[in-house]
A and B are shown apart, each in its own frame.
Chain A
Amino acid sequence: MTGEIVVPVVGLSALLPALVVVGAGGLVLLLDLLPPRASKAHLGTVALAGLVAALLVTVSRWGTDDRAFRDMVLLDNYALFFDVVICYAAALVVMLSMDYVGREGGESGEYYALVLFSTTGMLLLASAGDLIVVFLALELMSLSLYVLAGFFKTRLVSGEASMKYFLLGAFASSFLLYGIAMLYGATGSTNLDRIAGSPAARDGDPLYLVGLALLLVGFGFKISTVPFHMWAPDVYEGAPTSVTALIATGSKAAAFAALIRVLVVALRGLQPDWTALLWSLAVVTMTLGNLAALAQSNLKRMLAYSSIAHVGYMLVGLVAGGASGAGAVLFYLLAYTFTTIGAFGVLALCQRAGEEAVEVSEYAGLARRNPVLAATLALFLLSLIGIPPLAGFVAKFYLFGAAVRGGHVWLAVIAVLNSAVAAYYYLRVLVYMYMREPEAGGAGYVPSFAGGLALAIALIGVVALGVMPAPFADLAQGAVTPLLR
């Protein structure tokens, strides 16, 4: 044992985006105590300001390679790319929430504070260079999301979603932690770089492999791969729609960030082993997600299965490996985030007779009642199908292209066939909106300035990513290079 305690030089700059967001969260909690008591709308604005500030900080730090706490927190381009995705997702969610939460279940300061705290967790997860930080950030993110999922306290479905999410999430986290313990025991370190360099990693020590398997359970749960996906449909359905959007995008992106870092950095030596594993995971996940989505009539649930399928597609990129594969996954996450937030956003802005409209049949004839909203949802769904020239198409193209280049032609073909099957359930919504007579008292738009603005931003993103993908693709490629050194 070394006797002296070395006081480390703390460079907080690597934590800056997370600090801004957590600061905004604290500010929201403080302001919540002050008048005006009746309206909490201003708190949403504060939260939004915090997220925009974090976004600006992130953008301004592009290209710097910052490290803190003995490489526990890394703010490289890779983390910054994810920070942008996460901050965007969180900001859009806050904008969507401003009217939605007040309308559905009582707005309060805690809601925005929790959104910001979970965002902090996501940002840290993206920068984690050490398994301790992975665990802490994952828990920070998850604990906030458990509460948010049950935020509509008077609704049984919300409580049920929260409970399922919590029990299963905690269960999966304890696997993750046990895995971390095993990895620590096998390699003597929790730092990703040092783990990768240890003899145990090179020799494939059994303890090491067990640790990795357990780690994958934890990550598999967060990104909802089969068979760890079962919570997702229930939670997506029961949670407030704005929270669902955050779970589906931000938390997934953050978990992917950590997963890719772990796979690429710490598992470099074991590439062939986990490629076979990921190959089968990808196929099973996308196929099950798509086929199960075919049978859904609840839109939130359908989107939940669809998001499972999209995770399957992203795993295709991980199988492909290399800079092009990882870059394609990053690009896909960006496109997926914009599109999914948009789709859930439209659901959040629609209601029927004071209730949330979530059944497909409630959207019958929406094009007649509100053509703009119908066209918006249609564009998001078309992007999810992968119809050019929208974001989803280009993203799929990159992903499957990377798989083909990596020599996984069959995987690409399976993925293409899968996305063809997926077209069916998305198009069914379009058919309802455009080709069915409106039901009496079908879903209608609830006017919301912030919500409308969020949809507009998401829509611009979806179109811009599809029409001129080059700059974004360059960013994604640039983001993965620090990993592959």
Chain B
Amino acid sequence: MVPESYYLGLSATLFSIGVVGVIVRRNPLVMFMSIELMLNAANLALVAFGHRLGSPDGQVLVFFVMAVAAAEVAVGLAIIVTIFRLRRRLSVDDLNLMRW
């Protein structure tokens, strides 16, 4: 039996990798993938907690999160494609028309 803290450790690591990915990468697609990683880190934590608590709430929430993540993918990709059509380039550094 793997102890719960291992799951939590993995989850925290995944979350951190996600945060660092969003911060470091310039390509919106990759940033977006990092965000997905953060969501999945949360999912992992939820499942682990649900398992410990013996309640289905955690698992149920995970399904909701997956659905929401799928919707987010659809919207996110649509926005990225729209920008790409106008710009023909894909870097968040180009998105600086509006500032201070």
| A32 on the B face (CB < 8 A) | no
A161 on the B face (CB < 8 A): yes
A161-B98 contact, Cβ under 8 Å, with A135-B64, A139-B68: yes
* A467 contacts chain B at the CB level, 8 A cutoff: no
> A154-173, CB under 8 A of B: which get 1 and which 0?
10110111111011001100
Q: Would you call B97 and A160 a contact (CB within 8 A)?
A: yes
Of the listed stretches A145-153, A323-331, A393-401, chain B binds A145-153
Is A174 within 8 A of B82, CB to CB?
no
Q: Is B61's CB under 8 angstroms from A180's CB? A: yes
B80 at the interface (CB under 8 A from A): yes
Q: From the candidates A177, A233, A234, A295, name the one contacting B39 in the complex (CB within 8 A).
A: A177
Cβ–Cβ contact A136 & B75, under 8 A: no
Contact B64–A132 (Cβ < 8 Å): yes
Query: Complex formed: what's the CA distance from A164 to B72 in Å?
Result: 14
Write the B42-56 contact mask toward A (1 if CB under 8 angstroms, else 0): 110110111011111
Closest to B80 in A: A163
Q: Does A432 contact B (CB under 8 A)?
A: no
Chain A residues near B83 (CB, 8 Å)? 159-160, 162-163
User: Separation in Å of the A16 CB from the closest CB of chain B?
Assistant: 22
In chain A, residues 195-241, which have Cβ atoms closer than 8 Å to a Cβ of chain B? 233-234, 237-238
CB distance from B64 to the nearest CB of A (A): 6
B35 touches A170 (CB 8 A): yes
Nearest residue (CB) in A for B39 is: A174
5 chain-A/chain-B pairs, Cβ below 8 angstroms: A147-B79, A167-B31, A167-B35, A181-B42, A295-B100
- Does A178 reach chain B (CB closer than 8 Å)? yes
Total contacting residues, chain B, CB less than 8 A: 48
Across-interface contacts of B42 in A (CB, < 8 A) = 174, 177-178, 180-181
When A167-B32, A171-B22 are in contact, do A184 and B38 touch as well, CB less than 8 Å? no
CB pair A135–B92 under 8 Å, yes or no, is no
CA distance A164 to B28 in the complex (A): 10
The interface bits of chain A over 397-435 (1 if a CB of B lies within 8 angstroms of the residue's CB, else 0) are 000000000000000000000000000000000000000
Stretch from A185-193, A252-260, A332-340, A349-357 contacting the other chain: A185-193
Q: Which of B43, B65, B98 contacts A238 (CB 8 A)?
A: B98
State in angstroms the CA–CA spacing of A154 and B87 once bound together: 11
Whether A159 touches B78, Cβ cut-off 8 Å, given contacts A174-B39, A181-B42, A238-B98, is no
Chain B residues, Cβ within 8 Å of A387: none
Other A-B pairs, 15, CB within 8 Å; known A139-B68, A174-B39, A233-B98:
A135-B65, A136-B68, A139-B72, A157-B98, A160-B83, A160-B95, A162-B82, A166-B79, A177-B39, A177-B65, A180-B42, A185-B48, A188-B53, A234-B99, A238-B97
Check B58–A184 contact: CB distance below 8 A: yes
Q: Report the nearest A residue to B52, measured CB to CB.
A: A185
Q: Which of B1-51 contact A (CB under 8 A)?
A: 8, 11, 15, 18, 22, 28, 31-32, 35, 38-39, 41-43, 45-46, 48-50
Q: From known contacts A146-B79, A156-B86, infer whether A182 and B45 are also in contact, taking CB-CB under 8 Å.
A: yes
Q: Is the CB of B76 within 8 A of A166?
A: yes
Q: State whether A171 touches B75 (Cβ < 8 A).
A: no
**A7 lies within 8 A of chain B by Cβ:** no
Chain A nearest CB: distance from B74 CB in Å? Answer: 9
Contact partners of A157 in chain B: CB under 8 A = 97-98
User: A157's closest neighbor in chain B, by CB?
Assistant: B97
Contact A181 B46 (CB under 8 A): yes
- Collect the chain A residues with CB atoms within 8 Å of residue B38's CB: 171, 174-175, 177-178
Contacts of A190 in B (CB 8 A): 57, 61
CB contacts (< 8 Å) of B11 on chain A: these are: 181
A301 to B55, CA, bound (A): 47
**Interface contact B49-A184, CB-CB below 8 Å:** yes
A154 neighbours in B (Cβ, 8 Å): 86
Interface residues of A in 103-139 (CB under 8 A from B): 132, 135-136, 139
A180 to B50, CA, bound (A): 13
Query: Closest residue of chain A to B99, judged by CB?
Result: A234
Is B45 a contact of A159 with CB atoms below 8 Å?
A: no
Which A residues between 433 and 484 are near B, CB-CB below 8 angstroms? none
A170 x B76 contact (CB < 8 A):
yes
Which single residue of chain A is at the shortest CB-CB distance from B60?
Answer: A132
Q: Which of B35, B46, B55 is close to A188, meaning CB atoms less than 8 Å apart?
A: B55
B-side contacts of A277, CB under 8 Å: none
A72–B41 alpha-carbon span in the complex (Å): 24
A170 to B50, CA, bound (A): 24
Contacts of B49 on A, CB cut-off 8 Å?
A: 181, 184-185
